[in-house]
Structure formats: C-alpha cells, structure tokens
Structure 1
Amino acid sequence: MTRSILLAGLIAATLAPAAFAEAVPFDKSWSTQRFSLFSSNKYGFQGNTLSIASDGSVSLAYARVKQPLWGATSAKWSWGVSQSVPATDLAKKGGDDRNASLYFVFLPEAEAKALGDNANIRKLLTADSARVLVYVWGDNKGRGKVLASPYLGNRGKTILLRAAGTGQFSEAVNLAADYKRVFGGAAGALVGLAVSADSDDTKSAIRASISGLSLN
C-alpha cells in the first residue's frame, strides 16, 4: 500500500504542470513616452536586452503585459550601470534622479479587461485604482527601503534595490509579497511594465542596461 501511494504521488508530480518563468522581450511591443519636448533618453531594444543612454534627460519606455501573465507574482532581471547619477532623494519631487526604475502596474482585473489592450502608460498610471511597484537603482537609503512616490501619490511606492553607483547585478523580486507589504491585500492584474532613467535634475549622464526580464 505504501509503495502504491508513493508511486501514485511520483506520477502525479511528474504529470503536474510546472510553474515556469516567461521571458519579456525588449522588442517592438515597447513604446516610449517623453516628458519634455526638448530632451529624451535613448533606448535600444535588442530582444533580451534594453540599453539606456541618458544625458541630462528623462523619459520612459513601456509595454502592456499579455493577459496570460496578468497573474504573475514574481519577476527576475539583470541590470548593469557603467555611468551613474549621484545619489539623490527619491522621495522628493525635483532633484530625484536615478539610474533605472522598473515599474509594475496593477489594476483590478475587471477594469483591466474594460480598458482593453490599447490604453497607454499615462492612462494606466493615472487610473484611480492603479497600484504601481517601482523598483529603483538610485538614492542611498539602503536596500529594501520603501518610499512614497512624489508623482504617483497613494497609487505608487518606490522600493530601493541598489544605491547610486556602477556595477552589474541580478534581481529577483516577489511582487505579491511586496504588494501586500506596501499596499495591503492581494494584487490585481499585472497589466503594464515600464522602465525609466532620470538624469535631468543633476545634469549628469547614465549608461545602463537591463536584460533577462521574466515574469512568473
């Protein structure tokens, strides 16, 4: 009997669908959003890698998340910086430069379906029910520090991962746990991703890249 139970368990485990990460390519599905007519970052979409060049400028690149991935609860990526902005206070509007930010945008599923696939990043970020986790390479207050977003109000929280400076690192974040920690409750549908870099306030320069972004 014991052997039969063990064998049945092994067969079930073998046949059960395995959870796996799905890569998010940096391709033509991404668009860019300027914040100024006079300056913009330069993004290079190279499949697995996004290159970023920012020279006293700021802008954002964004993509919608496919509906089968709306329930993603974690994310992984690698990023590197060879030229960095100085450390700034990211809780303060103006003067809040950073090497790179990754935005994960959530909406209630019913609202996400009602918006459809054509809503741009401004519409997603300004929706009253939107909640945004922003993982950042910048500031110097320490890894894991949570800051109020000076731009998103109660809709967004900044989570510091790396202090301003250069280097190459891999990250793995638990979106579900971080959402519960900073907003409370369960996350809605993960409908949007965005990347930004900001060097306009300090008139400095950034050379960075993000690669291997995946959702699970």
Structure 2
Amino acid sequence: MYRFLAAAILSCAALPALAAPVSFDGTWKTQKFSLFSSNTYGFNGSSVSVASNGSVSLAYRPLPQSYWGANAASWSWSVQEGVPATDLRQKGGDDRNLALYFVFVPESEAQALQGASVRQLLTNDAARVLVYVWGGAHDRGAVLGSPYLGNRGKTVVLRGAGTGSANETVNLARDYANAFGGGETALVGIALSGDSDDTDTRIRASVSGLNIN
C-alpha cells in the first residue's frame, strides 16, 4: 500500500500546472498612440482579430492576482496579411504583424499598482516588459532592445515577417531572467498590438487560445 501511495504522489507531482485561459473579452481596453489612427480589434471570447491599416494601437488588460506568479504562456496566432520585414530596433521604422506584451512589476509594488493604466505601467521605472513578436528581419529567438522602452523592455522574436499560422509556448521565467537578470516579480498585465503605420501597409491577423500558467 505504501508503495502504491508513494507512486501516486510522485505521479501527481510530475503533472504540469494547469493552464489558466485569458479571455479576449470586454476587460481589454484600447490605448491609442495617435488621435488620427487606430487598429480595429474584434474580441470574441477565446480569440481576437486585428485589423491595421497604416495604423498602430495597443489593446491591454490587467491580470488578477491569481496570474501574478505565472512562469509560462502559450497561444496560437495567424497572419493573413502582414507588413514587410523591418528592423525592430529602429524607432519609427519597427512595424510588425503582431506583438504580445507581458508586463511585470516587482512583487512589492504589485498591490500599489493595481488599477494603473497601461500608459502608466509602460512608463514606470520599476516595470519590465517582455514583447513577443511576429515580424521583423531577425532570426527566431533574437532578443532585441526596445526602441521605446529602453532598459525596461526586451523584444523576443518568435516569427519573422510573413504570413501563416503557428502555435507558441514561451517560458516567461527563463526569458525574464535572461533579459533582466531575474528577481521577485508579478505579471500584472498583458497587451496586444499590430503596427503598420511606418510602412503604410495592412495587417489582417488573429490571436487565440491564450493560456498563462
């Protein structure tokens, strides 16, 4: 009996943590960067469509405390029309098809920053942002400095410029440590963008099945 119980306990311990889905619902809010142009986001529960016509904007949602200790994420994304290859390090010339932003703050500051807007978070000196990108003229796995966030953000290239569909799984804890050196942090929000304003082109894309665990 003891051997049976020990085996059962070890078997359960080896199971991966259950993934927590993130719904594409009304909790997402759009942040414009220009009064004259913005992307169109179609939120549909399990997925979101992105249409960009020579425009750029950001859709953001805060995450409740149950997500703050996340170590990994997965999702599917698809691009039907996209922007040409660009240099993602170049401010004002870094168009990309899709980008998913994972926004972290120190655990000690997470409670105080609840309710902060995405603009407040992205300009907070204590925040750190991992930006996973489909686009650019870079190899998969390239880690680039952000032309807008400075030392507070890193771009991680998952797909170069082009169209198609793909499934992604990322190790947030490892990528954070590689980019920023580790630390006790909380994942307080996520954001999504398409960016076609510099090349004056079009994006037709979607993201679905976003899970964080």
Alignment TM class, shorter chain as reference:
over 0.9
Q: Which residue of 2 aligns with 1:35?
A: 33
Paired residue for 1:65, among 48, 56, 63?
63
Please tell me the root mean square deviation across aligned C-alpha atoms, in Å: 1.4
Alignment of 1:162-173 (within 5 A): 162-173=159-170
Q: Is the 8 A contact 2:77 2:205 kept in 1?
A: yes
Q: Is the 8 A contact 1:41 1:55 kept in 2?
A: yes
Alignment of 1:1-216 (within 5 A): 4-13=1-10, 19-116=17-114, 118-186=115-183, 188-216=185-213
State how many pairs are aligned. 212
Write the distance in 2 (CA, Å) between the matches of 1:85 and 1:210: 17
Q: CA-to-partner distance for each residue in 1:6-63, whole Å, 9 max, x for gaps?
A: 2121343467696200100000111000000000000000000010000000000000
The 3 A distance-change label for structure 1 pair 99 and 15 is closer
Alpha-carbon distance, 1:181 to partner? 0.8
Write the distance in 2 (CA, Å) between the matches of 1:187 and 1:170: 28
Q: Is the 8 A contact 1:81 1:99 kept in 2?
A: yes
Q: CA-to-partner distance for each residue in 1:160-207, whole Å, 9 max, x for gaps?
A: 010111000000000000011111123500001000110000000000
Larger Rg: 1
Write the distance in 1 (CA, Å) between the matches of 2:40 and 2:196: 12
TM-score (normalizing by structure 1): 0.94
> Structure 1: which 5+ residue stretches go unaligned?
none
The 3 A distance-change label for structure 1 pair 187 and 170 is farther
